[in-house]
Amino acid sequence: MGRAVRPWRLAPALLALLCVCGSVRAAADTPTWPGLSTLSTSDGGSRVLLRRSGAPTLAVCARAEAMLRLSDNAAATLLRRAGQQAIRRSSDGWEICLRLPAQELTTALWALQTATPRPGEGGHDERSALSALLAPGTPAARPPTLAVVGDFDVDAAARILRELRWPAPTPASKLTGPKAQAWTPPPGVQLVGWKAPARGTAPRAAMEVAATRLARSLSEHHGRSAQADSGPQLVFLRIHTKDSSDALRRALLKELAQLQRIPPRQLAAAVALTESALLQELDDNAGVARSLLDGIDAQGQPRSVLRHLSLVSELSGTAVSSAVGSLALENSAWLPAAGSAGRVKHGAKQP
Amino acid sequence: MSRLIWLGGVLCVACASGVAPRPTAAPRASAVERPRAKSSTSADGPAAPPPAGLSPAQALPGSRSVRLPSGNVAAVIELPGSAMVAIDWRAPFGSADDGPLRGASHWVGSCLSLRTRAAHPLGQALAALGARADVQSEVETLRLRVHAPARHAAAALSLSAQLAQPPSLGELHAARPFAREAAGALLDAPEHTARAALLRELFELPTDRHPYADLLPNAAALTAASVPDVRKRAAALLDPKKAILTIAGGVTAQALGAASDALPQIAGRRSVPSPLPSAAPRVVVVDHPGAAVATALVGCLGPNGADPRSALARAAWQIFEGVAGRSASFRGQRFRFGPQVLAWSVTDTTEAATAWADAWLTPTRPDPDAKATQRSAGTRASKGAWLAARARASDAALFELESAAGVADAYGELLQLGLSPESFDEARRLARDAPTRALEAALATHLAPAGWVVVVAGDSQRIAPVLQHHAPVTVVRPKSDFSVLKRLPRTSAQGL
């Protein structure tokens, strides 16, 4: 009697099964972005405007090869007034992302024309540090791109944007920003990154799902907390561990081998988690703005992240297994935690 | 029979996981001003910056009270267009309520956290939905957050209720090593030990024992605690009748339950020693030998979170942060029954942290009447900078409202503090519209360095000599219950 299977003990498993069925049954709740408009400008770049009704704040995200002139005090004051800002330097230029109250959009657009990261600003970012390791070299020439996302008067913003012109970029040799490679993760955190194709492609979708599963299996089998994340040109893992890099490397190799044949139930969970992470990114104005610029950078299509969402949800186990090869450790860039020996390792071979 | 009914309920919840069609939001009025100045742009940039924008009132999105099938009342905030749902479940108890069972709330939190992992059936069910969950054990809250795609809102809600069930004896036994390990990790991390040391200095030392001291659990306490005692504690902690539940995102209240007139309410009242002795200024270094990164916290006590002066005090700290333009961020913490902690924090390399502390121990005062722009370091701030700082102090809270997760956080905190949703905008209005004299008074009261406690967690060999220029320094060891390692005298005639 004591060994009899009690039906209520099966409830969590039954619930999990129902949830999987539910996720298959339910239509994907993908955003559609009906309020998207794109302006072409004389500098060859794109300005993307997306109106999202009801958003109390705006995000303005701009990317350029070299972001304008240095140390303009008036611009710096305006930017501070505009709201929260994040500036980072990646392997192919600068990105400035502002989050601001809606009424400060005019200020922000004016400020962006003259603003630039000052020496010491930017670069303190895990994505840009890994990107610089994976694709070192001078920035490629590119026209500036800008996205505005939130609840705003699109016509008024378009009028301002047409009138704004960006100064000629500073030659790469004169850039004075910080070296992204100097950034190190905080104690107890190690970062492993891989160069990846653009979002909106099936191989990239498979890499993201495989990285999600890899992070989950590290937590499950090795007691390390890990999260998968991605940037315009890379996917990466943020791993919380006290291990040495060598011990972590062994664990990663073991889990990569397991990933070659991923069971269907685990694949479904990895797909659901990856899709959910994308939706969460698109729940935030700044995340949407960055995704729009990623789409332009990759394929000239700001909506390509939406296609990416559907690609993720349709992935097969075979596609994910084949993506595991792209996550080989010899193709990775590795940033060990601050204070650990050998500050930066770079095992990257350029694909 | 009841189990069959329960299973039937689960089936119904899973089948009803799709949400009703969303109402279309009415478009709002234009939020962007037209450019007032003629935009005479050139390759060198605009001729003149536009005037400062107004900072209109922006209330929290409206909420509806819903009685869930479980009987709990939840505040539901519908955010049409959001593809996510955020569930914020709070038990209004934390380490402040642990009493002699020190570390019990952290231990119970560890149990819940283990349920979210991939090896647990609930963790697997969450992953199948694409949901992520995390558990935080705080001073007066045990908090569970679940973020999931909106189309799985009902299923995620059902799983949240299961996650928050009191743990069994077996689960508590299994979680003890995990809790010990987590406690060890806390004591290794400067950002956690700095916060614990600050709360200890502000609350525990002046009163001998204060619940808000938030003593981090140590291995000895977790080893000594009896599992049955902790289980009783867990049952009280996780009483579903006392939980505060907030749900925000792309869901409709109708899809989740029946309308209710009640709001989630906190029962009971914690006894807090009052009044507290005023804190004397002091500088404490939490020693992490060889640490490459330091965390600095400067803090003092302020009015209770529900006190109308509370918002003004927080605004004063945020405004000063904005005027000074330094790389610090406001990290205040409000408590429901006790005084709030006003604090700035910075986490950077040891050199930056010490330089920061050096600069902040001789602060400047903003001068709202200054006419000229004085930009050199250490001089009074300009009127423009002062106004910009006021606007930022007012608008900073808005950034929390961008996502479903941020709205659930903001609402959950207000409910926890016993504040109305209207108080969200009231606090913003105070920062924006309060008379200059009122803000000046708040600055004088709450920004006086004579009331500050400075805590820097990092390598004491590198940090202490810099801080000794300003004040006597006490070095404490986090792993020995923050006992004093050494006391160092001031080395300069000036300072605190």
Stretch (H or E) spanning B114: helix B104-115
pLDDT band for B262, please (50, 70, 90 cuts).
Answer: confident
Residue B13 predicted with pLDDT over 60 = no
- On chain B, the residues whose CB falls within 8 A of the CB of A111 are 49
Distance CA B388, CA A99 (A): 15
| Closest-approach residue (CA) in chain B for A77 | B385
Give the residue among B87, B105, B85, B86 at the shortest CA–CA distance from B95.
B105
pLDDT band for B30, please (50, 70, 90 cuts).
Answer: very low
Q: How far is B334 from chain A (nearest CA, A)?
A: 23
Per-residue model confidence as pLDDT tens for chain A (351 residues):
334 445 445 455 554 444 444 443 333 467 788 889 998 777 778 899 999 887 788 999 988 766 544 344 556 666 666 667 777 766 667 788 888 888 788 878 877 776 655 555 555 678 877 877 887 665 566 778 899 999 888 988 888 888 776 665 555 555 555 555 567 787 788 999 999 998 888 999 999 999 999 999 888 776 678 999 988 889 999 998 877 888 888 889 999 998 888 888 889 999 999 999 999 999 999 999 999 998 888 777 899 899 999 999 999 888 888 888 899 988 899 988 876 654 444 554 433
pLDDT tens column, B326-383 = 567 788 888 888 888 988 887 666 666 666 666 666 544 455 444 333 333 334 556 6
Give the residue among B164, B221, B212, B162 at the shortest CA–CA distance from B187.
B221
Q: How far is A322 from chain B (nearest CA, A)?
A: 22
pLDDT (0 to 100) of residue B143:
95
> Is there a contact between B84 and A280 if contact means CB atoms under 8 Å apart?
yes
Distance CA B365, CA A153 (A): 38
Residue B121 predicted with pLDDT over 90 = yes
- One-letter amino acid for residue A214 of the chain: L
Q: Residue B294, class by beta-carbon neighbours within 10 Å (0-12 exposed, 13-18 middle, 19+ buried)?
A: buried
Residue B129 predicted with pLDDT over 90 = yes
B231 phi and psi angles, rounded to 5 deg = -65, -40
B215-219, B236-240, B365-369, B453-457: range with lowest mean pLDDT:
B365-369
> Is there a contact between A19 and B395 if contact means CB atoms under 8 Å apart?
no
CA B236 to chain centroid, in Å, comes to 24
| Closest-approach residue (CA) in chain A for B15 | A22
Say what percent of chain B tops pLDDT 90.
28
- On chain A, the residues whose CB falls within 8 A of the CB of B26 are 53
B152, A28 contact by CB (below 8 A): no
pLDDT (0 to 100) of residue A90:
65
Q: Compare CB distances from A279 to B6, B83, B122 and report the shortest one's residue.
A: B83
pTM of this prediction exceeds 0.80 = yes
Q: How many CB pairs under 8 A join A and B?
A: 253
> Is there a contact between A273 and B127 if contact means CB atoms under 8 Å apart?
yes
B364 phi and psi angles, rounded to 5 deg = -100, 160
Distance CA B101, CA B180 (A): 14
pLDDT (0 to 100) of residue B496:
54
- On chain A, the residues whose CB falls within 8 A of the CB of B46 are 110, 113-114, 164
B103, B218 contact by CB (below 8 A): yes
- On chain B, the residues whose CB falls within 8 A of the CB of A153 are 30-32
B327, B348 contact by CB (below 8 A): yes
> Is there a contact between A151 and B122 if contact means CB atoms under 8 Å apart?
no
B116, B163 contact by CB (below 8 A): yes
pLDDT (0 to 100) of residue A343:
42
B356 phi and psi angles, rounded to 5 deg = -65, -50
Q: Residue A43, class by beta-carbon neighbours within 10 Å (0-12 exposed, 13-18 middle, 19+ buried)?
A: middle
Q: Residue B94, class by beta-carbon neighbours within 10 Å (0-12 exposed, 13-18 middle, 19+ buried)?
A: buried
> Is there a contact between B41 and A113 if contact means CB atoms under 8 Å apart?
yes
B404, B82 contact by CB (below 8 A): yes
Q: Which of the 8 DSSP states describes residue B37?
A: S
Give the β-pairing of B483-488 and B453-458.
unpaired
pLDDT tens column, B310-325 = 888 888 888 777 665 5
Q: Which of the 8 DSSP states describes residue B97?
A: G
Mean pLDDT of B193-222: 83
* Pick among A5, A20, A280 to test the B interface (most B CBs inside 10 A): A280
The ipTM (two decimal places) reads 0.82
Mean pLDDT of B235-248: 89
Alpha helices in B189-276 (DSSP H): 190-199, 205-207, 219-224, 227-237, 253-256
Return the beta strands (E) in B165-311 as ranges. Answer: 244-249, 258-259, 282-287, 293-304
Cis (ω within 30 of 0) for the bond into B61? no
pLDDT (0 to 100) of residue B45:
44
A327, A118 contact by CB (below 8 A): no
Q: Output the six-digit token pair for B260.
A: 């209710």
> Is there a contact between B14 and A22 if contact means CB atoms under 8 Å apart?
yes
- On chain A, the residues whose CB falls within 8 A of the CB of B405 are 280, 283
